[in-house]
């Protein structure tokens, strides 16, 4: 074949191969075609691994079979499940050669042309390379089959790939045993018909995005004074000296007022941990590399982190959200995908995100909280994970409270001495470099983090749903501060669970004129402060609902 159109039309996702060996020159020509594919910023981030070992092929096949069964269980009905199981979706052991096409995420550790809009551009380059290889093999009388039904985490471990190398999948390579009647195999087997023509639509009008969460947020009215007075009377009538339960009494009154009842009950409590990466982390502001975000999210999913332990201890549901981690997690893990991008850009020399992305953050945060609310949850805690996010939070605090950055910056993940001074200098320089508009929306987009803005949107929605809002440490309190600037009434629903070891945290609490429940020098994040404080919150509800009154116990209140 010499006509490009014919080659493109003849390319097939092949699942049936002959046992013919593949000449080395065929593979080399195909890989060279992949090398000629577009490469964002000429990074050469695409990597190739050849697999001829029967032992490795067998191990990859076992990974496929495990996930193939999970895929079958996701079908809509028994008939579809039978149809699915009848499909041949791989030829891992039959094909003479296995090819793993990967991309190297480590190129993002340095400035790379073409990745400012989307870090995924390096992955797109690898996909272009895969297509070139496919077309070259087709032209030479060979073909490829793409196997993506795998646990990618286990797949990487099996192949011994380093953390920064991400596979597109496993590709079976060989001489095709059939031409599938010159049509895609799934179409030939009547699984689905491919549309005859591409879907094309011209955009004629540019529609400006309005950040609804910053404009026109509904203000809540003050709680009904009648229920507040009734709660106070009920609290004072308990068999105890007046105010002797201290903070528990004010907690009980607050919770009863939020739920507008003398017998409040917390149902299906849930802590939501939002995770994302930050471009500013590439400037040495953290004691840990950016990839720790991905590692910790994996730890959350595997149940090994502090927040997992404390939630399990206190019977709290845990929701993990990928708000913008620089990693592609498997699609079947128990993770809420709300990824805006693979981390923000560095705000040292430019905007962390676009205003459209800021708008999307608020929308995603609200959507996530609504989905939690629909489970019957009336008490939601907010937590976060993201290397570099104390830097982002410090800058946002400096802007929101008009304080010098030195008064806002803390140790974060453990930055001390010269590294702390460097962190302060980097953030001070970033603030000095800003020459954009003076409105809050523009500054939030320029200096924001995906997880912080999703939390802010979520907090606003939690108030709209009249949920009890548990606020964790420094970063979550900055997210609360952003939401508070838009709707001060959210403070009525908020419980500030602890005052952290970050110097800026207590300053924000003082500004809000609120008192934290605990002082334990925590600075872990993850929502751990919410989980640890939860039993105290439950104690406030329990005494209000279950403790005897002077009248019911037959106790003379004048004797106390």
**Is residue 505 one of the residues assigned to a domain?**
yes
Residues 105-134: tens digit of each pLDDT: 888 767 777 766 566 788 888 999 999 999
Poorest-confidence range of 41-45, 481-485, 523-527?
41-45
Tell me the pLDDT band of 208, cut-offs 50, 70 and 90. Answer: low
Contact in structure between 507 and 497 (CB atoms under 8 Å): no
**Is residue 380 one of the residues assigned to a domain?**
yes
Total length of the chain? 560
Q: State which H helix or E strand residue 35 sits in.
A: helix 24-35
pLDDT at residue 222 tops 50? no
Q: What is the CATH number of the domain that holds 302?
A: 3.40.50.10210
Give SS3 for 39. coil
In percent, the amount of the chain with pLDDT more than 90 equals 55
46 and 181 co-located in one domain: yes
Q: State which of 144-153, 185-194, 279-288, 305-314 shows the largest mean pLDDT.
A: 305-314
As a whole number of angstroms, the distance between CA 547 and CA 17 comes to 75
List the catalytic residues: 526
Boundary of a domain, candidates 174, 189, 204: 189
- The pLDDT of residue 221 is 41
153 and 291 co-located in one domain: no
- The pLDDT of residue 556 is 62
pLDDT at residue 554 tops 70? no
Q: In the numeric block, which tokens belong to residue 220? A: 């809540």
Q: Angle CA(383)–CA(384)–CA(389) in degrees, nearest 5?
A: 140
Q: What is the pTM of this model?
A: 0.65
- The pLDDT of residue 529 is 94
pLDDT at residue 295 tops 50? yes
Count Cα atoms within 13 angstroms, Cβ side, for 188: 14
**Is residue 227 one of the residues assigned to a domain?**
no
Radius of gyration, CA atoms only, the chain: 28
DSSP string over 83-101: HHHHS----TTTSSEEEEE
Q: In the numeric block, which tokens belong to residue 406? A: 């030195």
pLDDT at residue 304 tops 80? yes
**Is residue 559 one of the residues assigned to a domain?**
no
176 and 280 co-located in one domain: no
363 and 470 co-located in one domain: yes
Residues 358-417: tens digit of each pLDDT: 999 999 999 999 999 999 999 999 999 999 999 999 999 999 999 999 888 876 555 566
Three-class DSSP labels, 252-292: HHHHHHHHCCCCCCCCCCEEEEEEECCHHHHHCCCCCCCHH
As a whole number of angstroms, the distance between CA 410 and CA 509 comes to 15
157 and 272 co-located in one domain: no
As a whole number of angstroms, the distance between CA 504 and CA 250 comes to 25
**Is residue 353 one of the residues assigned to a domain?**
yes
Q: Angle CA(262)–CA(535)–CA(381) in degrees, nearest 5?
A: 85
**Is residue 482 one of the residues assigned to a domain?**
yes
**Is residue 204 one of the residues assigned to a domain?**
no
165 and 46 co-located in one domain: yes
- The pLDDT of residue 415 is 59
- The pLDDT of residue 220 is 39
Give SS3 for 229. helix
**Strand residues in 139-202 grouped as ranges (E):** 143-147, 165-174
Residues 255-290: tens digit of each pLDDT: 999 999 999 999 999 999 999 999 888 887 887 788
Q: What is the CATH number of the domain that holds 175?
A: 3.40.109.10
pLDDT at residue 209 tops 60? no
**What is the domain extent for residue 288?**
267-545
Poorest-confidence range of 29-33, 145-149, 247-251, 549-553?
549-553
Q: In the numeric block, which tokens belong to residue 170? A: 């496993």
**Strand residues in 438-493 grouped as ranges (E):** 468-471
Boundary of a domain, candidates 158, 189, 220: 189
Q: Which of 185, 97, 180 is nearest to 133 (CA)?
A: 97
Residues 60-93: tens digit of each pLDDT: 999 999 888 887 887 888 888 888 888 888 999 9
Structural domain count, the chain: 2
Tell me the pLDDT band of 557, cut-offs 50, 70 and 90. Answer: low
Contacts of 298 (CB under 8 A, 6+ apart): 153, 329
Contact in structure between 60 and 170 (CB atoms under 8 Å): yes
184 and 271 co-located in one domain: no
Boundary of a domain, candidates 122, 157, 189: 189
Instruction: Please count the other Cβ atoms lying within 10 Å of the Cβ belonging to residue 556.
Output: 8
Query: Among all chains, which residue has been given the structure tokens 């410090």?
Result: 394
56 and 145 co-located in one domain: yes
168 and 33 co-located in one domain: yes
Residues 313-370: tens digit of each pLDDT: 999 999 999 999 988 887 667 899 899 988 988 898 889 999 999 999 999 999 999 9
Q: Which of 517, 513, 509 is nearest to 537 (CA)?
A: 517
DSSP string over 135-148: HHHHHTT-EEEEE-
More confident position, 537 or 193: 537
Tell me the pLDDT band of 459, cut-offs 50, 70 and 90. Answer: very high
More confident position, 214 or 262: 262
311 and 453 co-located in one domain: yes
- The pLDDT of residue 13 is 87
As a whole number of angstroms, the distance between CA 333 and CA 356 comes to 28
**Is residue 491 one of the residues assigned to a domain?**
yes
Stretch 144-170: mean pLDDT, rounded? 89
Residues 492-516: tens digit of each pLDDT: 999 999 998 888 899 999 999 999 9
- The pLDDT of residue 31 is 96
For residue 322, the cross-strand partners are 275, 337
163 and 286 co-located in one domain: no
Q: Which of 108, 85, 94 is nearest to 18 (CA)?
A: 94
In percent, the amount of the chain with pLDDT more than 70 equals 90
456 and 328 co-located in one domain: yes
């Amino acid at each position: 074949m010499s006509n490009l159109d014919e080659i493109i039309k003849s390319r097939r996702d092949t699942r049936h191969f002959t046992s013919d060996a593949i000449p080395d020159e065929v593979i080399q020509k195909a890989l060279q075609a992949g090398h000629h594919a577009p490469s964002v910023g000429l990074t050469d981030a695409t990597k190739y691994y050849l697999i001829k070992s029967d032992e490795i092929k067998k191990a990859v096949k076992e990974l496929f079979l495990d996930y193939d069964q999970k895929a079958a269980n996701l079908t809509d009905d028994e008939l579809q499940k039978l149809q699915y199981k009848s499909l041949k979706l791989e030829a891992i052991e039959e094909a003479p050669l296995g090819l793993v096409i990967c991309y190297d995420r480590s190129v993002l550790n340095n400035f790379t042309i073409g990745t400012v809009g989307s870090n995924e551009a390096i992955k797109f380059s690898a996909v272009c390379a895969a297509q070139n290889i496919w077309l070259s093999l087709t032209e030479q009388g060979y073909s490829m089959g793409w196997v993506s039904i795998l646990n990618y985490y286990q797949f990487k471990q099996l192949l011994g790939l380093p953390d920064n190398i991400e596979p597109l999948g496993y590709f079976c390579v060989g001489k095709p045993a059939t031409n599938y009647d010159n049509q895609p195999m799934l179409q030939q087997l009547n699984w689905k018909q491919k549309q005859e023509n591409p879907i094309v639509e011209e955009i004629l009008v540019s529609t400006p995005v309005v950040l609804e969460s910053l404009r026109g947020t509904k203000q809540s009215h003050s709680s009904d004074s009648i229920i507040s007075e009734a709660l106070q009377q009920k609290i004072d009538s308990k068999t105890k000296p007046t105010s002797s339960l201290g903070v528990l009494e004010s907690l009980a009154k607050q919770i009863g007022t939020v739920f507008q009842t003398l017998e409040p009950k917390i149902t299906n409590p849930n802590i939501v941990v939002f995770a994302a990466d930050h471009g500013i982390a590439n400037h040495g502001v953290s004691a840990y590399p950016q990839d720790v975000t991905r590692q910790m999210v994996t730890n959350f999913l595997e149940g090994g982190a502090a927040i997992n332990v404390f939630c399990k201890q206190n019977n709290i549901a845990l929701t993990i959200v990928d708000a913008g981690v620089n990693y592609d997690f498997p699609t079947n893990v128990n993770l809420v995908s709300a990824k805006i991008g693979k981390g923000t850009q560095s705000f040292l020399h430019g905007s962390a995100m676009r205003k459209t992305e800021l708008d999307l953050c608020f929308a995603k945060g609200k959507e996530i909280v609504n989905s939690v609310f629909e489970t019957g949850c009336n008490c939601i805690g907010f937590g976060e994970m993201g290397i570099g996010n104390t830097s982002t939070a410090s800058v946002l605090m400096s802007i929101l409270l008009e304080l010098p950055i030195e008064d806002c910056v803390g140790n974060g993940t453990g930055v001390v001495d010269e590294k702390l001074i460097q962190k302060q200098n980097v953030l001070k320089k970033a603030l000095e470099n800003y020459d954009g508009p003076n409105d809050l929306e523009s500054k939030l987009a320029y200096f924001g983090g995906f997880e912080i803005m999703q939390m802010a949107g979520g907090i606003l929605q939690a108030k709209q749903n009249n949920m009890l809002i548990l606020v964790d440490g420094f970063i979550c309190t900055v997210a609360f501060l952003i939401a508070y600037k838009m709707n001060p009434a959210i403070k009525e629903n908020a419980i500030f669970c602890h005052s952290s070891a970050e110097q800026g945290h207590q300053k924000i609490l003082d500004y809000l004129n609120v008192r934290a429940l605990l002082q334990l020098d925590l600075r872990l994040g993850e929502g751990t402060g919410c989980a640890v404080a939860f039993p105290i919150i439950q104690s406030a509800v329990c005494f209000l609902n279950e403790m005897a009154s002077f009248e019911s116990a037959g106790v003379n209140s004048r004797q106390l």
